[in-house]
A and B are shown apart, each in its own frame.
Chain A
Amino acid sequence: MKIKDYLRTDFFPNVWCAGCGNGIVLRSTLEAIKSLEIPKDEIAMVSGIGCSSRATGYVDFHTIHSLHGRAIPVAIGVRAAKPNMKVLVITGDGDCSSIGGNHLIHAARRNIDLTVIVFNNEIYGMTGGQVSPTTPYAARTTTTPLGNPEKSFDICSLVMGAGATFVARGTVFHVHQLIKFIKEAINHKGFSLIDVVTPCPVYYGRMNRYEDGITMIKEIKEKAVTVEKARSLSENELEGKTVIGLLKKEEKDEFLQSYLSFYNTKKEASDGTAV
């Protein structure tokens, strides 16, 4: 299979702007699926609403472009109906951590076997560049014209605290590492999330005086610090840095498996109920 075989080219051209990193994240996802040799019919991909969430339209799997923030519950439904299917969630930083935050917490808590790929551009792209929970401190957006007075939110810490069992952060510069993480996440039994740092040159870039997408990707590279290295750095030294790498990996019972095996030990009473 070639990467092209995974694409619905009749749905092109895509909506993404020149210099946007979304294409790199999608390509990396497809590279991971390709090298795992998972048949297209065994993959469902669900997205929310946002620029990033448009990705599901372009790929030849069972795909759902759902509501803003709701990709995770829709994906849970798909998994419940088809327990053997690989279910991936494509989401933006606002989509999953703001409007969809509650779903994110509870899917992680239950360790539901989903692979969530966060296209984290630190801004609301689709609606024209408003502040997001992950927008860095002091950054300008259309709703923080004088700079963001709030500190940015760490999605990885949130889901690790909630019970996710595979958590990694990557960037669109470190593509080989990203593909590796996505592969591992898909193979992982349980809730996995990869937070991918990606540039939005048109809104974030323009408002914060970046020349273009390449300049932004260069900065993403410069700011990146590996988890291993980060351990030896002080809080001050880590200020403004992005810690990348595998943040958590743990083997634990996955929701649906435990659900089914739990009820398999129960018997049926004469009235049809489980006892």
Chain B
Amino acid sequence: MRRLVQGNEACAQAAIKAGLSFFAGYPITPSSEIAEVISRYLPYKRGIFMQMEDEIASINAIIGAALAGARVMTATSGPGFSLMQEGIGYAVMVEAPIVLVNIQRGGPSTGLPTEVSQGDLMQSRWGSHGDFLCIVLSPSSVQEMYELTYEAFNLAKRFRAPVIVLSDEVVGHLREGVDFDNISLSPIVERLKPEVPPGSYYPFEPSFNGVPPLPEYGTGYRFHVTGLFHNYKGFPTSDKKEISNLMDRLQNKIKHHIKEFFKLEEYQTEDADILFVSYGITARSALEAVNILRRQGIKAGNLKLITLNPIDEEVISSILENREMIFVAELNMGQLVLDIKRLGCKNSIYAINRYDGDILTPQQLVDEVRKRIQVGAGN
């Protein structure tokens, strides 16, 4: 049955579908509906919903619950996402499977509480201190919000790591018809359980493709976790080899399997001379801009990134190849464009940016392209 659903509601529904058992959060526009919807469903389903005293408490509470065995999520926006940064690094270090949703609003600071932005892409990659790697997913429709939030739970357990759903105010507040019965979801991934008896289990053992099993509390397996660099037993270490091995493993356990989860969508790219690169709500405008340009006889196409981190550089480079012009459209001052310039031929890559709280409209994208084409012709 098709239902008219809001993006944030779809996010909440997906989390419940994925077996969410503990949610901790703090109200913030434009993400609050996620907490509100979850607070109506979760208690009855024998889960626990807690409105915490702040976002720092929220992320730390879900980390504790995840280590103990719960399926967890928190949702926030800009200022709250900033407060969660230390917790994200901690989740990476103790390898806690958590899902964190950021419905982006305009920043910096309190910024534009009710208006859209894509300004937190780099923060979700680099916001916590030190080198770390988080999977970042970006939905551009209500249905995708549902699919990707669900997928985030599976990835978090599969890699024993935090996964960020980086959405934006427009997708979060958008209402679209979704046919929930016809969405195909992969089966729920269970967290890896140890096959050895408690005495021989080590919480940070590097085998298992770099993802050590994580037993639930109360099942006989007692282990220690710390945000300090630690050895395979979980105890603090200053051994140089152990430190660099852990750094490498935390990245490689995800990077080496990028082919299994990296997602993008190409639209009319095969013969495209003009290529848009976009994500989130901006990808919706880019699709329409492609249609308009095609009607005007310009061979345009769109590359939509769904996985924003890590990115499959080889795949992206090959799509960027042999284009006359590439336009990276984002609701920020130019973040993804830095990657695209690194991966493509610099001279033909242009940024289209908007950072006043409104979306880039299809017509704006078309105008930008036409302006460039004219400049090119004038040369």
Contacts and interface: CB of A to CB of B under 8 A. Distances in A.
Contacts of B86: 67
B87 interface: yes
Given A70-B56, A273-B41, A77 B220 contact: no
Contacts of A105: 53
Say what secondary structure dominates the interface of chain B.
mixed
Contacts of A61: 222
Nearest to B224: A63
Interface in A15-39: none
Interface string B34-77: 00000011011100101011101110111111111110100000
B291 to A, nearest CB: 37
Contacts of A49: 227
Interface residues of B, number: 47
Nearest to B90: A67
Contact of B220 (A8, A41, A73, A74): A41
Contacts of B52: 73, 106
Interface stretch (B228-236, B268-276, B364-372): B228-236
B22 interface: yes
A75 interface: yes
Contacts of B90: 66-67
A76 B21 contact: no
Interface in B315-358: none
Given A42-B218, A62-B217, A103-B53, A77 B41 contact: no
Interface string A67-83: 10010111111101110
A78 B65 contact: yes
A60 interface: yes
B10 to A, nearest CB: 14
A77 B222 contact: no
Contacts of A65: 224-228
Interface of A: 8, 10-11, 40-42, 44, 46, 49, 56-57, 60-67, 70, 72-78, 80-82, 84-85, 102-103, 105-106, 256, 259, 263, 266, 268, 272-274
Given A66-B60, A266-B43, 6 more contacts: A8-B224, A49-B227, A81-B217, A84-B218, A85-B217, A85-B218
